[in-house]
Structure 1
Amino acid sequence: MSMSAIGSNADKALAESFDATFKRETLKGRRTWFSGREARLDAFRWLHRYITRRRHSCLGHRSPTTYETRSRITSTTLTSAV
């Protein structure tokens, strides 16, 4: 799956960065799980943390959930300039 135009320098860069972060933060030296279910649960826990609590520098060091919640509040409380 390509994340940008074919032949671009950034082709797959975002996906590869995400995968590298996932592997680094999930595996942490671990080589095996007792079951496929346990591995899926670890992946789900990491993804849930990544989306709801992990701070992202491009979002002003806020989690994606916090960023979107604040953006939604801001956009609905602005008054029109008429």
Structure 2
Amino acid sequence: MPVTVTCRVLKLARQPSYRWLVKPVADSVLEEAYRANALFSARREDPEFGYRFLADEARSSGAAMADPTAWRICRDNRWWSVFGQKRGRGKKVPAGV
């Protein structure tokens, strides 16, 4: 389908669609993917440590990031420390079951 027809049907401007064709992935998204990859490879080696240790390991391998950025990426991907999460002890059974 031509871009002009598609944009007219979707009620979008043409310029952003052409800009997206030239560069479909933003620099910030690509940078975060590289950071997540560095954190994941550090976590693969030591899954028992938390985000601060993972951030230090990623920084030593060359991926520059702050601790809050590492925490956000770990939180979004649910990469928790093995020792930091409490397990399901003491769950109450609902009444009437």
TM-score (normalised: structure 1): 0.30
Larger radius of gyration: 2
TM-score (normalised: structure 2): 0.27
Q: Which has the higher contact order (CA 8 A, sep 6+)?
A: 2
